[in-house]
Structure 1
Amino acid sequence: MTAAGRVGLNTGMEDDHPDPIDLPWPLTGADALRDELLAAYAEPSRGHHGTRHLAEVLARLEELAAAGASYDRTPVLLAAWFHDAVYDGERDAEERSATWAEDALPAHTDAATVAEVARLVRLTEHHRPEPGDANGCALSDADLSILAAPRERYDEYVAAVRSEYAHLADDVFAAGRAEVLRALTDTEELFRTAHGRERWERPARANVARELATLPA
């Protein structure tokens, strides 16, 4: 399981049935690519990493921008769209998502933007942006903000992640889940933006600690 797969990264603060038409898409003349990505997120096999997840990450990016976080809108939004474009529970899903971006985007935007999108997608495997990486910090915080969801939503998200790994025995899944949660929280700060630290740090750590108490030591 990848880190993203074990944790699952929805925010859980949006409409349960987002209208894809309302999702911010930063490229003009690339609606076919947008629709291809939407189709990938809408695959029935996705118990958690679906269109709702995409909508929530995009919404948290808008929230961060409104709170004063500075990031380059086009590459960060595109990275949000691509970060789980490939999702099948295999370890290299982020790499394959980044490769998809590298293959699909040159027809629609400049080389620097393509490279930045791919870099950001790869960063979501571990969520460890450098302090000066404004784009990486924004995307990472938006993706991790599910950890700060209200208790009922957090529990729903945990169950949805488990459903995506129904093929794994409970003890195998629990050990992997505990490993990645501990890796994420074994840092001074989970969130790298000021807004993330202020709004999400404390509830996220409380949720994770509560869940870890139910998992193997």
Structure 2
Amino acid sequence: MATEVHMSPSEVSSWLVPSFARSVTGAGGTAPLHEVEAAARRLLERWSEPERSYHGVAHLVDLLQHVDELKQETHNLDAVRLAAWYHGAIFDAAESAAYAHRGGEDEAASAELARTELAGLGVPAAAVEAVATMVEGLARHSAPGDGSDSAVLSDADLAILASDPQRYRQYLNKVREEYAHIPAHDYLEARRAIVGRLLSRSPLYTSPLGRGWERQARENLTAELTRIDREMATSSRAT
């Protein structure tokens, strides 16, 4: 089961900006510290947008902590951490179609933002492209190339699926809040497609350490799929 770490808002704010700055420096960035910290604060503003119930700062923190949990599997830990920062920087829950395909996170646009901002912070082109490629890979949780760093990022992003059942339910409730404007049946159809796609992956987790989360995640997803089918059947009978 994926490890859960809970931190207070003050603890989060005290380490996130310096953590981003260390990752930029570790990736080869040459910009002055005040410019790097300003970029981190801009990213945190994005992650703090009011429409983000699940895909907010707490998700970013959780993802960074799971990356560190898997860090011995990485080749370039700083690049993976930066990819975590940018992976959901651009978010749009406005359309049900977007949810059905992306879950609201726009990986393509987020990758372009990473290319622009990290290049502006003096990060070498090869490292910038590595970050952007990892972000783009999350669109289908694919792992291009040798895949080790991308596998860690993907597994860390999916770690929530291996939570204990109570936390998994909280995750589902927060995701639903982001799409409260979408009719229930449309939402269930979109969510069913996502859950089905996840269950079709074999394995779900591709890093050696992440594979220990497989059983719990599949149990959670299977239980969710059963619940969705039951709710959709009840909805159909009611109409």
Superposition TM-score, scaled by structure 2 size: 0.80
Question: Counterpart of 1:160 in 2: which secondary structure?
Answer: helix
TM alignment of 1:49-68, pairs within 5 A: 49-65=55-71, 68=72
Greater shift, 128-137 or 27-36, is seen at 128-137
Using the alignment, how far apart are the partners of 2:3 and 2:168 within structure 1?
8
Using the alignment, how far apart are the partners of 1:137 and 1:12 within structure 2?
18
CA deviation string 1:149-201 (max 9, x = no partner): 01111000001001101111111001110101111110220001111112x10
Greater shift, 141-150 or 103-112, is seen at 103-112
Point out which structure has higher relative CO (alpha carbons under 8 A, 6+ apart): 1
> Residues 17 and 52 of structure 1 are in contact (CA less than 8 Å); yes or no, is this contact kept in structure 2?
no
Superposition TM-score, scaled by structure 1 size: 0.88
Q: 1:20 aligns with which of 6, 13, 16?
A: 13
Q: Which residue of 2 aligns with 1:79?
A: 83
Using the alignment, how far apart are the partners of 1:20 and 1:12 within structure 2?
21
Q: Verify: 1:99 aligned to 2:112, yes or no.
A: yes
> Residues 12 and 56 of structure 1 are in contact (CA less than 8 Å); yes or no, is this contact kept in structure 2?
no
CA separation of 1:17 and 1:48: change in aligned 2, threshold 3 A = farther
Using the alignment, how far apart are the partners of 1:178 and 1:13 within structure 2?
26
Using the alignment, how far apart are the partners of 2:181 and 2:75 within structure 1?
39
Q: Which residue of 2 aligns with 1:4?
A: none
Q: CA RMSD in A?
A: 1.8
> Residues 12 and 154 of structure 1 are in contact (CA less than 8 Å); yes or no, is this contact kept in structure 2?
no
CA deviation string 1:56-92 (max 9, x = no partner): 0000011112xx3133112111100000101112637
Q: Verify: 1:172 aligned to 2:186, yes or no.
A: yes
Q: Which residue of 2 aligns with 1:31?
A: 37
Indicate the structure (1 or 2) with the bigger Cα radius of gyration: 2
AA aligned opposite 1:201 = E
Structure 2 portions without partners, runs of 5+ = 26-32, 99-104, 233-239
Q: Name the structure with the higher helix share.
A: 2
CA separation of 1:174 and 1:17: change in aligned 2, threshold 3 A = farther
AA aligned opposite 2:15 = D
Using the alignment, how far apart are the partners of 1:111 and 1:84 within structure 2?
21
Q: Verify: 1:123 aligned to 2:151, yes or no.
A: no
> Residues 83 and 94 of structure 1 are in contact (CA less than 8 Å); yes or no, is this contact kept in structure 2?
yes
Structure 1 portions without partners, runs of 5+ = 1-10
Using the alignment, how far apart are the partners of 1:159 and 1:12 within structure 2?
20
Q: Which residue of 1 aligns with 2:210?
A: 196
CA deviation string 1:1-34 (max 9, x = no partner): xxxxxxxxxx782225441332332124211101
AA aligned opposite 2:78 = T
- Identical positions, percent: 33
Question: Counterpart of 1:27 in 2: which secondary structure?
Answer: helix
AA aligned opposite 1:54 = L
TM alignment of 1:4-15, pairs within 5 A: 13-15=4-6
